Amino acid sequence: MSDDDELEKIRKKRLEKFQKRLVHAKEEESKQKVLEEERKKKEGETEEAKLKIMKAVLEPDAYIYL
């Protein structure tokens, strides 16, 4: 009986460790997604700003926009 109890304790510990790692992995994945979205947003804003500057430079009254 004691062997079964010890095996059950070991299984529970392993399961807890696995669940902790799984939760940690999900949190890391979530963080990475957020960082990726922020990076894409910044790139989009930068590209938009570049386009505005190029448009302003190409127009005859560029000094008004800048």
13-29 pLDDT per residue, tens: 999 999 999 999 999 99
In three-state form (DSSP H/G/I as H, E/B as E, the rest C), the secondary structure along 1-59 is: CHHHHHHHHHHHHHHHHHHHHHHHHHHHHHHHHHHHHHHHHHHHHHHHHHHHHHHHHHC
Alpha-carbon torsion (29, 30, 32, 36), positive or negative: positive
* Weakest-pLDDT range from 11-15, 40-44, 49-53, 55-59: 55-59
pTM of the model: 0.53
Domain encompassing residue 50: 2-65
User: What's the pLDDT score for residue 65?
Assistant: 54
- pLDDT band (50, 70, 90) for residue 36: very high
Q: What is the DSSP letter of 66?
A: -
Domain count of the fold of the chain: 1
The rounded distance, in Å, linking the Cα atoms of 66 and 51 is 13
